[in-house]
Amino acid sequence: MQQRHLGNRTVSAIGLGGMPMSIEGRPDEERSIATIHAALDAGVTLIDTADSYHRDANEVGHNESLIATALRAYGGDTSEVLVATKGGHLRPGDGSWTKDGRPEYLKSAAKASAQRLGVDAIGLYQFHRPDPNVPYADSVGAIAELLDEGVIQMAGISNADVGQIDQAQEILGGRLVSVQNQFSPAFRSSLGELEHCAGLGIAFLPWSPLGGISNAAELATRHAAFQRVADAHGVSVYQVTLAWMLALAPVVIPIPGASRPTSIQDSAAAADLELTADEVASLSEA
Ligand SMILES: NC(=O)c1ccc[n+]([C@@H]2O[C@H](COP(=O)([O-])OP(=O)(O)OC[C@H]3O[C@@H](n4cnc5c(N)ncnc54)[C@H](OP(=O)(O)O)[C@@H]3O)[C@@H](O)[C@H]2O)c1
């Protein structure tokens, strides 16, 4: 599997997004663990999660606990696996997502995440989403303190614009290693942040790269140009979409979600799919 840099770590060019295994519509635990194990078998060494990936109010951190369980149960070596979690979103249990970017909240949430993941220090901790009720500098300042205190090993942000990326980089004293924003064939408005990250050498993790849980099945019909390239290579439209992103910049590391082993097995193969420069250019314009 092709490798990419994320801070001081090297990870698989395709990660696994954990959200579909913990929110509404999730499968049973057995299938989720089989999915995580299939990712590991395929060489995936980046798993994205968040404390808010749960369904009911009383099960905060469902996805973090699930990943920790799957890693413990895996027969092979997991020492190179980077589990990246996030804090700053909450799910009250009615299907909604709320925000809390207060420094004291983020600091206690990170410690709870570390406990659920069963680690002394979280490999990568990402501030999930700016909270309009809290100055961004205060929230990111808490992430800097978590780094200084050794609660987290690396820091990232999510759902950030170019100005916030620069602000976070300054507050973190140059220690910002990743930005996680929505990016897919249907949602390209974060191309500016992707290019900004490429210029800074910061990893860019496209979230919902296949259009999101409820839209992924429509990828081929909504984006015919991607399906045409897929037909030419004899691969799935999902692989072409992920390979196109990888070709945009060496900092790009997509994190496709999965709740079935076959989904992540197929997506992981995108790391080794080579598109021609003409194909990449035509998909960028499609
Ligand atoms: N930072 C943020 O604010 C934020 C927001 C949303 C998501 N995220 C992260 O980004 C990750 C990815 O986003 P997402 O899960 O929302 O959407 P996504 O990756 O665009 O789509 C996920 C869906 O695509 C299907 N799929 C994946 N690979 C496939 C393949 N090769 N063939 C066929 N179907 C395939 C999966 O189906 P099956 O379920 O049937 O396997 C899954 O339900 C999340 O899991 C989460 O970790 C972050």
**The amino acid at 165:** I
Nearest C-alpha to atom 23 of ligand 1 is from which residue?
213
Q: Which two tokens stand for residue 115?
A: 């406990």
Could you tell me if the CB of 179 is within 6 A of ligand 1? no
* Inter-residue long-range contacts of 194-201, CB under 8 Å, 24+ positions, other chains counted: 194/248, 194/249, 194/251, 194/252, 195/249, 196/162, 196/165, 197/165, 197/249, 197/251, 198/248, 198/249, 198/250, 198/251, 198/252, 200/165, 200/169, 201/251
Give the mutation target among 159, 178, 210 for probing the ligand 1 site: most ligand atoms within 8 A of CB: 210
- Predicted TM-score (pTM) of the model is 0.98
Q: How far is the CA of 189 from the centre of ligand 1 (A)?
A: 19
Rounded-to-integer distance, Cα 219 and Cα 211, Å: 7
- pLDDT, tens digit (0-9, with 9 covering 90-100), for 57-109: 999 999 999 999 999 999 999 999 999 999 999 999 999 999 999 999 999 99
Ligand 1 near 19 CB (within 6 A): yes
Q: Mind giving me the DSSP string for 119-174?
A: -SSBSEEEE-S--TTS-HHHHHHHHHHHHHHTSBSSEEEES--HHHHHHHHHHTTS
Sign of CA dihedral 35, 41, 42, 47: positive
Query: Residue 198: its pLDDT value, please?
Result: 98
259 alpha carbon – ligand 1 mean position (Å): 8
Pocket test for ligand 1, best of 14, 16, 19 (most atoms within 8 A of CB): 19
Q: Give the C-alpha separation, 67 to 49, whole Å.
A: 8
pLDDT in tens, 164-199: 999 999 999 999 999 999 999 999 999 999 999 999
